[in-house]
Every structure is written in C-alpha cells, then in structure tokens.
Amino acid sequence: MGMLCAVSFNRYGRLYYLDPGELRPQVGDRVLVPTDDGPEVAECVWAAQWVSEDTDGFPKLAGLAQEDDLRRDELLRRRKAEAKVAAKRLIREHALPMKVVAVDHVLGDGDGGADLTTVYFTAPHRVDFRSLVRDLGATLRCRVELRQLSARDSARVQGGIGSCGRDLCCATFLNDFEPVTIRMAKDQDLPLNPLRISGACGRLMCCLKYEHPLYQRFQESAPPIGSRVSTPEGDGKVVGHSVPRDAVTVRLDADGSRCSCSRASVCAPRQAHDQHYQP
C-alpha cells in the first residue's frame, strides 16, 4: 500500500507513474521527474492518492518545479522547436528520404560540456546522413546525433488514436513490443484485411495478442465447426463459436433452428465425464 501520482511531459502524452514521497501534487502542478539527463519538468495529471499496489519499485518525484526550472523547461522546448525546423529544412536540401519524428535536446552541464540535440527519424532504408549531421551541427551550434526509429517506435513517440477510438497502447502503457503474428488474427476469426488488423504504425495491431490466450484455451476443448454434438435441446451440428460468451452455436436436427449452448454443455470430454461419474 502506498501513494502514486501520474505525470506527463506533453499534453495528452504518455503517462508516467511516480511515488510522490512527502509531496502532494495536485492536477496541473508542475513537478520535477528524475531522468537519466537530470530532473525534467512534467505536469501532474493524476493527483497523488493511495493505491493498493506495492509502490516500492516506482521512482520518486524530485520536487515541485520552481521558477528556474520552468525557465529552463521553456528554453528546452524552444531549442527543440528550432532544431526540428532546421532538421526538416536541411533534409529537404540534401534530398534525403527521411521523416523527422521527434527531437530531444539536452543542455550542457556548464563546465565545458556542449549541448546535445538528438533527432529521431524514420526512413525506408539505411541513409547516409553524415553531411546532414555536419550541416545540422553548424546550424544549431551544438553536438548532433541522428537515430533511426522503427515503425512501431515511431508510433510510440508520436502517439495518436487507434481504430478503437482510444490512445495508442504503445504511447500509453506498453513497455515492450511482444511479437504479433497473423496466426493470432486467424485464431480469432478476424478478416485478414491489412486495413482492418493494422495499427497506426502499419504493423499488426498489438491488441491482437490481448485475447489470443482466451481463444487458444477455447479451441483446445470446444468442438470444431461441423462436428456432431448433443445439447440439452437435442442433437445437432456446430455451426459457430462465440468465444467471449464461452459458447457454441448449434443447428438442431429436429427443426433446423439454432441455439447457443455453453461450451461445457456440448463438450464431448465433459459429457463422457458426467456419464461415467454421475449415478
């Protein structure tokens, strides 16, 4: 049992959960979040409250943002915007098949360390951007790094709305990209139309794996379509499955009507078990 709050570095961006410690930030407060590059300013979007989960593994807030922190955050945002505009302009001038996805900027430590700008981009193949880095460094007057992102990483960084109407899973709560295969779509009897089963990144939707274990367990014990079964309403043939309801649809031999029966009531192993052990 402990307290947690949620913060976001960008409006409608990914949420990060932290232990507020002795602080009690409210919605809209600007707080300091520890990162590899030092404390960064974020906005509290979920006020600190008690939760039932163990909070020992969550990072702690570094404090509330002060005026100096807010000025530094504003400077970083301005540098990022300038770097993004310059990167797009130079990419056009160099005629490179690249698309800028995001820009990150780290201020120098004040002891001779130079500022560092990291440009994240996508491209259909490997790109020779050595001349671009040189010109970009001369324009921004700082060290520059370019990093190519995969399609899924690009969707995570940019965010967006999925076909379900909700924020992209990768941009909100997914930490790792687990393999998603076309077999998962087939097992769930989904149309194999790329437009229907692909996400914003153009790859198979990550949510295909959410219910896949349920479908696997169902198929292990449910009678296949076309098989003959006995139901409480009479004998018939299986003509459909309803996995979320844990039921099968049976066309009865008596009058051709269809009925929905629970999987257990038409499963041959269950019937054999009942016949063997019931008095």
| DSSP symbols for 233-249 | TEEEEEEEEETTTTEEE
pLDDT tier at 158 (50, 70, 90 boundaries)? confident
The 10 Å Cβ neighbour count of residue 259 is 16
Q: Retrieve residue 150's tokens.
A: 């995969």
Q: Which of 26-30, 90-94, 201-205, 257-261 has the lowest mean pLDDT?
A: 257-261
Burial 96-135 (b: 16+ CB within 10 A, else e): bebebbebbbbbeeeeeeebebbbbbbeeeebebeebeeb
Q: What is the mean pLDDT of residues 127-133?
A: 90
Both tokens of 109, joined, read: 């430590």
Contact 43, 24 (CB under 8 A): no
Is the pLDDT higher at 32 or at 173?
32
- pLDDT category at 273 given cuts 50, 70, 90 is very low
Q: Please name the residues in contact with 23: beta carbons below 8 A apart, sequence gap of 6 or more.
A: 31, 48, 61, 63, 64
Contacts of 226 (CB under 8 A, 6+ apart): 237, 238, 239
Which of 263, 233, 236, 232 has its CA nearest to residue 252? Answer: 236
Residue 269 banded pLDDT, cuts 50, 70, 90 = very low
Label residue 146 by pLDDT band (50, 70, 90): very high
pLDDT of residue 178: 83
Fill in the DSSP letter of residue 58: S
- Measuring CA to CA, which residue among 243, 246, 248, 270 is closest to residue 260? 248
Mean pLDDT value across residues 134-139:
92
C-alpha dist (Å) from residue 99 to 90, 92, 93, 102: 11, 10, 13, 9
- Nearest-Å Rg of the Cα atoms of the chain is 27
Is 58 in contact with 87 (CB distance < 8 Å)?
A: no
Which of 3-12, 111-120, 179-188, 263-272 has the least mean pLDDT? 263-272
Q: Which residues are CB-contacts of 97 (< 8 A; sequence separation ≥ 6)?
A: 123, 124, 125, 127
- Least confident segment among 10-19, 35-44, 135-144: 10-19
Say what the pTM is.
0.69
